[in-house]
Structure formats: structure tokens, C-alpha cells
Amino acid sequence: MSFSDELAARSQDRLAAIIDAGKGAAGDADAKALLQVALVNEISVSELAASWVASTPEIDVKLAFARQAGDEAGHFQLVAERLRALGFDVDGFVPPAANPLFQHLATLGSTVERVAAGLFALESIAYGVNENFIAYCRAHGDDETVRLYETIIQPEEREHQAIGRA
């Protein structure tokens, strides 16, 4: 087993508790409320990756963060369009201040820390949480949100993970 494969397996074991915690947490929330959480997460990851571009010396990693920032901004736009279709006023939406996790991630200084946290761990969490959300939407008949996540967002999240492993 390669180092990156072993790291991925260990990470999956450690991250499973975080990802699984959200499986039943939706409670009475509807897709619109959960998409608002997704909106915050997408812009937060985009901003984080963008903040690392200028101070990352390795050109391949710099470009990976730039791609991640752009893709996540695109996800923000897609989720915003879906929310508009569900009647949410996206134009009046103000994202909350950065949470402690993103505040900490913004302080990471080395390329290795940033890749491990941003492209590897954070994207792994996002992928798992999104899978839970897809299952929730499918169970509640929201086929359009399922399509959006399965055809666009999840494949790009998987690509970000692959870049982080390379």
C-alpha cells in the first residue's frame, strides 16, 4: 500500500465520525435550510483556498488551490441558483463570520499543512457530508438537488481530493 493510500485509509477512519454525525442531524430542517449551510461552506472553502494561492511557493499546489477556489465559488453559485428556485432571497444572504475551524485553517503556513487540511481532509469531509445530504434529498423527493450534487459538485469534490493525494 502506498503512503498516500495508507494516509487516505487512516483519514477515512478518523473522519468517519465527523461525517456520520450529520446523518441523522437534519431533524426538521428542510432542503432550503440545509442548502443555506452548504452556501456558507462553499464560500468559506473558496475564500480559504484563494487566501493560500499567493503565499504558496510551489506552482503546482498554487494552481491546485486556485482551481479549488474557483470550483468552490462555482458550487456557491450553483447552490445559490437552487436556493433561488426554492424561493430563498440569496441577494439578502450575509454569510456568518468565519467559524473556529476556518479561522485555524487560515493560519496554516506550510504547503504540506495546507494540502493535508484543505485538499485532503476538508474535501473528504465535504464529500461525505454531501453524500448524506444527497440521501436526505433523495428521501424527500428533491431530485433537482440530487442531480446538482451527483453530476457537478461531488465529481469536483472528488477531483480536489485526488489532487491532494497526488
Residue in the block written with cell 480559504: 48
Report how far apart, in Å, the C-alpha atoms of 36 and of each of 33, 43, 68, 98 are. 5, 11, 20, 15
- Band the pLDDT of 43: cuts 50, 70, 90: very high
Helix intervals (H) in the chain: 3-21, 31-53, 59-85, 100-105, 111-114, 123-139, 143-148, 154-165
Name the percent of the chain lying above pLDDT 90. 64
Q: Lowest mean pLDDT: which of 16-25, 69-78, 97-106, 148-157? A: 16-25
Cα gap 31→86, rounded to integer Å: 9
Comparing C-alpha atoms, which of 127, 88, 106, 5 is closest to residue 47? 106
Q: pLDDT tens for residues 81-138? A: 999 999 999 999 888 888 899 999 999 999 999 999 888 888 988 999 999 999 999 9
- Band the pLDDT of 28: cuts 50, 70, 90: low
CATH number at residue 83: 1.20.1260.10
Task: State the total domains in the chain.
Answer: 1
Residue in the block written with cell 495546507: 114
Cα gap 31→160, rounded to integer Å: 25
**Grid cell for residue 61:** 499546489
Residue 70: domain span: 3-165
* pTM of the full structure: 0.85
